[in-house]
Structure 1
């Protein structure tokens, strides 16, 4: 790396540190409210404390991204454990948490606080590495019971606060702006990979990150729900499927549109209308108190009634927030129940091997009056030429 490049990288890191600090300090009242909701859930689960280890959940309670941090929540205190790399920004930013510097292992410091506060039932996240759980257990006395409690924050994060909804909506607006630009960029001979690169370039230009690997699929490749863009060129006829999302200020967006290119067969046009009808049926069901699998069934029944039931093999949707896939899940086996202020995708599809596939995906908020659609990009079938 050249001296100039090192200087640019250093400046970039400094700007990132400032941005992270500002993000963490932006709304301590909201973060304190999240802690309060978590403590109520801990009381219901009869937990004296909860140790949070996964990055999204630590970010949810701190707004401070780091590669090494844990949060210990008690009923009257909350501790943010991190190492030398993040200690300065944490102490400056986290007024609602007590910041504790830890070693690379860190378990001895955490264990000492747990024993000092006489914790008897300690919740932990099941996604934590087994080896880390063993190290923690070795630092605790025999009277402290470890209880897998990952579901607590899964449920809390599924219901978004107004700050989160604003962030997701802003990400979605940028997502659609980029998609509109990408559609204008399509021309005969362009490859899937070239269109994907163009989309990524636009994301960089607008200062957002790619939420997941952007899917661009032409013609028969669109029958693969998670197609990887290749060297296939768009030629005389077929479909263009684009599934994309951006991440801005930690929060994600997600949408899919399927477009025609020049000549599209009557069968493909027909399945597009079926998918659109299925999505509308799901929208009719979305409201607080309904089970997620009932919403999935509403769309699935429409597709099955037209004889394409076997061609819709994935779930109808998922929650979106700090992660691109989070609670709730909308599929035939889901045990989730929709609540007001959940943000979910609704993305039915029909996939015909060797011919092509259609998926239409919108991002919606669950409200007491039904879904509020955050996706404004048109859904009527469009044939490009």
Structure 2
């Protein structure tokens, strides 16, 4: 560091720890002399609240935090530091969401978007993880820009959503940013609205955050289709709006623990929605301590306990597969004890095939029943095609 750079660093009023962070960023080659000068200028332009937020940024993110701000203009810097406190003075409309620079255009509408409902609901530790993770993600990944991070947080428009998104980014870094980036705006808002004065409000933030993190980790896994992950998010968001469905939080519980079950959970949810749409029906998820997938109370037909199994992938819907599902419903019947009678127990098997294939599926079910060699503790087996068309086989 030459004398001019030393003079520039000492000329700006800041606390000793932040000054050391700036110097270390330069000495480690995280920023060059021009970037150091830019970051110092951005710091000097801030009011006391903004400088305090900047101090917290570099305390948490270190060299990466200095580097992050060195690539922002004055307006972007205020926006970035305002994401955690709602202290935004002006907002620019980016011409390129993935570029690191853009010309700022005053817009009252966008100013409202950036500041609306910003609740600063993060703990100091959560805020630190957010700053550290997004700074590192932007520095280490060419597909993630500084402005992309800022715009994604602002895009969800409410304090509750922003808090959830920032916690996710803090926990998952680049994976979380890419995951949110592939969502359209509607799904993004639904995803981060979950738990906001709705049917999931009784669940604690930790369980909802855990589920969001697991969905992020599941995305782009080889064994889980991306469309299945997005469908599950939509299903969880939709279930909270169904007055006829109780315990919707159960949709999150199993996939939080075992994300690989997302595709089969989607099948169970599709069945729950189908029953909930029937006149006079109330659907409870995971009744009897999870012994069955669904309890369907219908004022006209009575109560059914339904175990749902979905044939996934390229596997054939044949009698061997059906027999394994017969064993499963028998196990669930035993687990339920005296709560469920045999004339209330139902096995539902879902195919990924069109209704034109229901004849062959029914043949497989009848063959499995005939060759099972034991009692099937279910009154009937319902076979469901991919469009919801159902055929019933009495046991």
| Bigger share in helix | 2
Per the shorter chain, which TM-score range? under 0.3
Q: Which has the higher contact order (CA 8 A, sep 6+)?
A: 1
Query: Which one has the largest radius of gyration?
Result: 2
Q: TM-score, with normalisation over the residues of structure 2? A: 0.22
